[in-house]
Chain A
Amino acid sequence: DAGITQSPRHKVTETGTPVTLRCHQTENHRYMYWYRQDPGHGLRLIHYSYGVKDTDKGEVSDGYSVSRSKTEDFLLTLESATSSQTSVYFCAISESARTPNTGELFFGEGSRLTVL
């Protein structure tokens, strides 16, 4: 299994509070991603990073921010959590999006967030 650790694995918080989820990798992969998984929607990309301090938005980035100060760590922050952000969050990594490496993703175990 790829060395990807997400923390916390479970969190319950209240509306309006800030929340930070951490993804730590030991694979030295360049690309890191945050997805959320919701029934009927599959996985939707929130933000991604293509290097230290290089990040960009995905399709559902509103209400989320990210930071990557080191290759191994990618943080996802909910500045003011809302009930619509209740979800399971997955971190993923890939070595390269370019051929010959074809960019398959390796996932962490997920972080289940409940916003009351």
Chain B
Amino acid sequence: DTAVSQTPKYLVTQMGNDKSIKCEQNLGHDTMYWYKQDSKKFLKIMFSYNNKELIINETVPNRFSPKSPDKAHLNLHINSLELGDSAVYFCASSQGTARGYTFGSGTRLTVV
């Protein structure tokens, strides 16, 4: 059973389109995250939700909007996609930061 699952795994789209990435965790964790990994493998936190409440909102363009319908799901919607949005996006969950995160396998977004 996959603990943190993201869909789709690959996403190729044209500039200006709107797309969504979905994330679900079956670990019963209270907190979920979105991270962006650039081409140099650098990981940058974007958002975090704790039990459906937004607790971390980093300096991310307004075109990115997270949505958490329940504590097991955290989706990421991106409007008006730009070339610079191309990256791998990782969802993660945790039950307390001190215990670490469980990551999904990532969504590779390519904007052409």
Partners in one complex: no
Interfacial residues, chain A to chain B (CB-CB below 8 A):
none
